[in-house]
Structure 1
Amino acid sequence: MDMLMFKLDKSTEKPLYDQLYSGIKNAIIHKQIGVGTKLPSKRKLADFLNISQTTIEIAYAQLLAEGFIASKPRVGFFVEEIDELPYVQKEILELPEARNVKRSFEFDFHPGKIDGDSFPFSLWRKYAKDLFDTGSKEFLQIGEPQGEYALRAEIANYLYQSRGIVCRPEQIVIGSGTEHLLPMILRLLENDSKFALENPGYSAIPRIHLQETAIPVPVDEDGLVIDELEKTNANVVYITPSHQFPTGAVLSATRRTQLLKWAAKDENRYIIEDDYDSEFRYTGKPIPALHGLDQNNKVIYISTFTKSLMPSLRVAYLVLPPRLLRKYKETFSYYSATVPRFDQHILASFMRDGHFSKHLNRMRKIYSKKHDKITQIFAADYPDVRITGDQAGMHILISVPLRKGEDELKQMAAENNIAIYPISDYLLGPIDYEDPTFLLGFGGIPLEGIEKGIHQLMACWGVKKVESRLP
């Protein structure tokens, strides 16, 4: 019994069975109990340690499960041989103090921020509560690989009503963000595909795996320059035609026709249309989706709920042409949807009952007021600052007539508690801009704070406010 004379402390929160298990295990590891040694019976050890047999049984069961002991029926428990693990002295590293890497600014003009104060939390909470209260056990299981049919049906209906896109729910694939869906598209296309990207353009695209091979194609006030695209050997082009990111240019009708004709010339040519913020347009009619004009099944349509609802929802979707849909089912039949089923059904119910459309209408008015406010301030107080890309979306471009570099101006703004984002962050190839140019996102700035934010930004850069022209 001496070998099991462990000191059990009944005054601590650590259970007795855990103390006994740890004591025996450590004794076995450190060879204090030899291999083949028979452990005392549960009754004898319980009497010796003055504890219950149940405590002994639980400790032995854990040792048995982990392979430290073996059981011989009607004989008892015996110590097993344990392979020794090499012991390496760990180097004690001096770790840096934990710090908050993401700095908070008084004014953050990031183009991806939304108006969080206007989100319909009470409605969203209600749908979430209703879903969980029903106790739908089937939602605990893995759902359809392409995403829940209920949500895909709502998205198909929404695309038809708002974007003129005719598609079936079966063509839609749901994923947790554009960054998740794009690699899937790349796998569906030919391995030797050559990709053309807008320059400047959406910065996450080349980081996926196209950094070295992507072909930058210039953008002007009419969008992607198709004549330049035709000079390349690309067979796939990634484009934001309704509101080019980041310049805000709209692909003209002539170039839309040119682009669709370019794609139709070869069966392996495709257009990836990113319709990331088409819901928010402030002048004229909504720009129709390129997909709606496509007669040859050459457009892969992709969009998200990032701007229309919230970035953290992480729900994006794509519409696959029939040819690629067949290949998708062959290639990704073993995949599971990356968006939780509960989130998908909450969103589907929110859309089904008309709340998504109402929310969009409300947000259009809010962002329109912010858009008008920001453009009016520049027009009245800083006329020398050139504004472009102001017809749609949740950001504009400003070009400031200063002889300083963008990095220097960005640092000056940060020192004054303002975050501003230079267009150079989105360049895929060199472009010479006459003046430093920045993206000025207004989605996350409260309406009442816009004027102060702009004046504070211009002041720190030394851009003087013009005197009032009123008599």
Structure 2
Amino acid sequence: MIELNPEEKTPLYEQLYAALADEIRSGQRAPGTALPGRRTMAAQQGVSVNTVDTAYQMLAAEGLAEARARSGFYVQKTYGMLHNRTARPRSQEPAVPEPPSPALRYDLSTGSVDTDLFPARSWGRIQKELLYQHPELLQRGEMQGDEALRVEIARYLSAYRGVECTPQQIVVGAGIEYLLGCLAHLFAGGIAAVENPGYSRTRAVLQNNGIRCTLVDIDQDGLSAQALEESGANLCYLTPSHHFPTGVTMPAPRRAQILAWAAARPGRYILEDDYDSEFRFDTRPLPSLQGMAGPDGPVVYLTTFSKSLAPGIRIACMVLPRSLLTRYRRDFAVYANTVGRFEQQTLAAFMAGGYFTRHLARMRLVYKRRMESFAAALRRELPGVTLGSVHSGLHFLLTLPGAGGESAMVEAAAQEGVRLRGLHEYYLARPELCRPDTVVAGYSALKEEDIPAVAAALAQAWVHS
């Protein structure tokens, strides 16, 4: 068993990666042999599956391991051939590979969308017209993104999210991760408070770009201003409109306290990730923190079109306060924009023509109906189930006491061909705070006609097994 020290400043995934890399380089893990399954390794080490997955991905990126579809991660054979002269002798017993995973039938993860809802006809028509009529779009565009798109985004954010900004404050980029990397450069040497539980990729991106992260536990109202003050951070990343993954909406008094924390000392900034506020089915979302703070306030607003259009479109944006804009333009002046101009101009025309707002209205109706149908089916099939945060976002928490616990629930669901994740996996620290028997069920990629079968499969996994 690998010795990991939670008290060290080095993140657990880096500790695990370093230990496995040493074992591979020294020959303790022979070329071609399977690494333990992610859940197996997580259970052995007492860490989250996210931690193991990040370590394994780092090994793969360095060429020490390779990922094989439906099989897992294996020590890279090529690496072993290059370095086998220094490898220590191994037992000749053949490695026993893990059994293949059951076939996936239904995806309840939170990162997928229903591609049938994509407005392919209108999107394709606009893009085709641009392709034939505007060959100048083959040339490099503006560093912050084409002005036509930034104008439309500014109008939309003002009307629907209360964001106060000019098009000049908007930066378009290929995904939130890229934009966070840019922000990490602007905040070099800073310390970021990150929500716990939360999105592990955010912390990984910030840390990979030199920002030290400290985890702050949320409560029933989201991130606490007092806990934030005690963290010693000068940056704060949070999802106030719909906390990921618990679904908590930060109320107005708490938002005011967070803004007061930022205003209390120069150099403090809030990174507001508004990743899916378009999907709220009971009331309109509260205005953004950026709108409360104003265009000169200490808030960087981030949002993405991954949920409203598709993850593969790779269009996200951030709104920089004027205090950061001059430095951003100076430091990134030689950078080319990371989103293709045809995609940018297609989205600009899609928004200007009113297609985007009509598409969102349709999506809300579809997803509301799907949420209500899925929730009703689960309540029928799973006696005693509790569903949390069903009226906002595209996932909810599902709690079912007596089903064997979170890990057993995830594994049993997988055996029935249903992919979902346990809430425990999103606790980057202090997993003992996680509510028991709870999984995260996303329904954005779920076909409405499949809902009865999915609920029946989960009942077979958790009730009738």
| TM-score normalized with structure 2 length | 0.75
User: For 2:105 and 2:260, how far apart are their aligned partners in 1?
Assistant: 48
User: For 2:321 and 2:435, how far apart are their aligned partners in 1?
Assistant: 42
Unaligned runs of 5+ in 2: 1-79, 84-99
Cα offset, 1:132, TM superposition: 1.1
User: For 2:119 and 2:101, how far apart are their aligned partners in 1?
Assistant: 27
Q: Structure 1 residue 366 and structure 2 residue 366: aligned?
A: yes
Q: What CA deviation, in whole Å up to 9, does each residue of 1:373-422 have, x standing for no partner?
A: 12223344434222112220100011221363433332222121111111
Q: SS at 1:411's partner residue? A: helix
Greater helix share, structure number: 2
Partner of 1:260: 259
Q: SS at 1:435's partner residue? A: coil
User: For 1:261 and 1:159, how far apart are their aligned partners in 2?
Assistant: 23
Partner of 2:55: none
Partner of 1:442: 443
Matches within 5 A, 1:51-66: none
Q: SS at 2:284's partner residue? A: coil
User: For 2:116 and 2:103, how far apart are their aligned partners in 1?
Assistant: 17
8 Å CA contact 2:102–2:415 kept in 1: the answer is no
Matches within 5 A, 1:35-46: none
Matches within 5 A, 1:172-187: 172-187=170-185
Partner of 1:227: 226
Root-mean-square deviation (CA, aligned residues, Å) is 2.2
User: For 1:458 and 1:226, how far apart are their aligned partners in 2?
Assistant: 41
Partner of 2:199: 202
User: For 1:374 and 1:404, how far apart are their aligned partners in 2?
Assistant: 22
Bigger drift between 454-463 and 124-133 goes to: 454-463
Partner of 1:139: 137
Cα offset, 1:169, TM superposition: 0.7
Partner of 2:463: 462
Q: Percent identity?
A: 38
User: For 1:364 and 1:91, how far apart are their aligned partners in 2?
Assistant: 54
Cα offset, 1:195, TM superposition: 0.5
User: For 1:390 and 1:194, how far apart are their aligned partners in 2?
Assistant: 33
Bigger drift between 142-151 and 278-287 goes to: 278-287
One-letter code aligned to 2:392: A
- Residues 112 and 102 (structure 1), Cα distance of their counterparts in 2 relative to 1, 3 Å cut: farther
- Residues 102 and 118 (structure 1), Cα distance of their counterparts in 2 relative to 1, 3 Å cut: farther
Matches within 5 A, 1:105-120: 105-120=104-119
- Residues 91 and 280 (structure 1), Cα distance of their counterparts in 2 relative to 1, 3 Å cut: closer
Q: What CA deviation, in whole Å up to 9, does each residue of 1:107-127 have, x standing for no partner?
A: 110112222212211111101
- Residues 126 and 176 (structure 1), Cα distance of their counterparts in 2 relative to 1, 3 Å cut: same
Between Structure 1 and Structure 2, whose CA radius of gyration is higher? 1
Number of equivalences:
366
Partner of 1:398: 398
One-letter code aligned to 1:218: D
Cα offset, 1:105, TM superposition: 1.6
Q: What CA deviation, in whole Å up to 9, does each residue of 1:320-340 have, x standing for no partner?
A: 000110110111001000001
One-letter code aligned to 1:450: I
User: For 2:417 and 2:240, how far apart are their aligned partners in 1?
Assistant: 34
Bigger drift between 286-295 and 167-176 goes to: 286-295
User: For 2:399 and 2:458, how far apart are their aligned partners in 1?
Assistant: 13
User: For 2:302 and 2:165, how far apart are their aligned partners in 1?
Assistant: 13
User: For 2:145 and 2:323, how far apart are their aligned partners in 1?
Assistant: 19
User: For 1:216 and 1:410, how far apart are their aligned partners in 2?
Assistant: 25
| TM-score normalized with structure 1 length | 0.74
8 Å CA contact 2:403–2:462 kept in 1: the answer is no
- Residues 210 and 463 (structure 1), Cα distance of their counterparts in 2 relative to 1, 3 Å cut: farther
Q: What CA deviation, in whole Å up to 9, does each residue of 1:410-452 have, x standing for no partner?
A: 2222121111111222221123234221110001111121122
Bigger drift between 353-362 and 451-460 goes to: 451-460
User: For 1:285 and 1:292, how far apart are their aligned partners in 2?
Assistant: 15
8 Å CA contact 2:403–2:463 kept in 1: the answer is no
Unaligned runs of 5+ in 1: 1-89, 94-100, 465-471
Cα offset, 1:104, TM superposition: 5.9
User: For 2:420 and 2:352, how far apart are their aligned partners in 1?
Assistant: 38
User: For 2:220 and 2:464, how far apart are their aligned partners in 1?
Assistant: 26
- Residues 115 and 358 (structure 1), Cα distance of their counterparts in 2 relative to 1, 3 Å cut: same
